[in-house]
Amino acid sequence: MSASGTEIAVAALLAKIDAGERILLLDVRNDEEFERWRVEGREPVATMHRPYFDFIEDETLLGEVPRDAGEVFVICAKGDSSDLIAQMLRDRGVAARNVAGGMVAYGESLLPARLPLDPDEAESFEIWQMNRRGKGCLSYVIRSGPEAVVVDPSRNLAEYERFVASRDAKIIAVFDTHVHADHVSGGPR
């Protein structure tokens, strides 16, 4: 979330959805984009869809956004149009925040989960599953001391680099175990 509290990161939004918090996700992408791909959580998320241009052409439509739906989070493709709509809602007294980076950030977001190991193994290494929920892809980071390997990375390597650095390690190798049409690997980079 930004310092001003007007944005929320995808990981924080997903945590709220997964916890079953009462929120409203206002998706302002065009109809085709909305029908093709949406934010999903482990718990159902109340979603309202109204294209950005509808609000621009008729600002009275902002009144259709429920004020009693809990926190309102506005999302678009990249986070720019939704930022404007969130600001317009805030100007009308609705507590609305922009989803930083929009659906692009949702599609690229990696959520790490440490996999359990036997106690004697856990002293030597750790395995992290990197869940790219927006695309349904899994990859892995295996760390032992200051070294780590990445297995089946998605194309956005900066996320892996940041994560591995946060574990006080450096990536020394990348393994691609399945190259196919629905997975673009960042491994060659």
| Identified catalytic residue from 76, 148, 150, 171 | 76
137 tagged catalytic: no
Token look-up 């996999």 returns 115
Amino acid making up residue 6 = T
**Cβ neighbours of 81 (radius 10 Å):** 21
The helix (run of H) or strand (run of E) holding residue 3 is none
Quote the CA–CA distance of 147 and 167 in Å, as a whole number.
Answer: 10
* Dihedral over alpha carbons 140, 144, 146, 147 (to 10 degrees): -50
Quote the CA–CA distance of 27 and 175 in Å, as a whole number.
Answer: 36
Contact 80, 39 (CB under 8 A): no
Active-site annotation, residues: 76
